[in-house]
Structure 1
Amino acid sequence: MTGRVQRLTAVTRPKIEFLFDGQPLSGQQGDTILTAILSNRGALRAAEFGPEQRAGFCLMGACQDCWVWREEGARLRACSTQLHAGLRLRSKAPDGWLS
């Protein structure tokens, strides 16, 4: 599956490059991390307790469904964090990560 999000307007904003799970992706200036990822992929991450894929739930920073991690370990809410160039993100917590 390709991206879950389809842009209907504002499709010519400047492109922003970032990495997600080692894969180069791009979003647009003004995107949240979640919007940028879902514009490129069908899901944000695998569910913890089953085979399903997760793509965010509340989209306003109140749940825990859209957590992503910077490669160095900091946790971010993908739905409410603005994308910026050079981010190196991962869908799973780094080894040894504690909340």
Structure 2
Amino acid sequence: MSASPNAAEQAALVHITFEGEPRVVREGQTVAAALLGDLHAGYSGIHPLAGDRRAPFCMMGTCFECLVEIDGEPNRQACLTLVREGMDIKRQHPDKEQER
């Protein structure tokens, strides 16, 4: 007996938290793709207006607009990081960028 489409979709989901809120997202996508609905996911101090809220831009790892904190580690590029079960993601704060 074949699995229903709903069962196949459920098998490809992972549970993450973003800013303390639980989320269910598709396995295999990047953190940036999973958070695109949350505008201004990251902060970037690279720009003249340090602390200005930014969102993913290039989606290929060259612009650093998508920096987030993942599992307590700052300065992770959301566009280059695949989601995994239990991942805890927080917005990047300007003071954390100084640790780069």
* TM-score, shorter chain, exceeding 0.5: yes
Check conservation: 2:74, 2:92, Cα contact below 8 A.
Answer: no
TM superposition shift of 1:24:
1.1
Deviations 1:8-67 (A, max 9, x none): xxxx3611111111111121011100111114x234235663897522111100111011
Number of residue pairs aligned between Structure 1 and Structure 2: 87
Structure 1 counterpart SS, 2:35: helix
- Structure having the higher helix fraction is 2
1:34 maps onto 2:32 in alignment: yes
User: Of the candidates 15, 18, 21, which is equivalent to residue 16 of structure 2?
Assistant: 18
TM-score norm. by structure 1 comes to 0.68
Identity of aligned residues (%): 25
Larger radius of gyration: 2
C-alpha distance in structure 2 between counterparts of 1:98 and 1:51, whole Å: 15
Aligned partner of 1:98 in structure 2 is 99
CA separation of 1:27 and 1:50: change in aligned 2, threshold 3 A: same
Check conservation: 1:55, 1:66, Cα contact below 8 A.
Answer: yes
Aligned partner of 1:77 in structure 2 is 77
Measured on the aligned residues, the alpha-carbon RMSD in Å equals 2.8
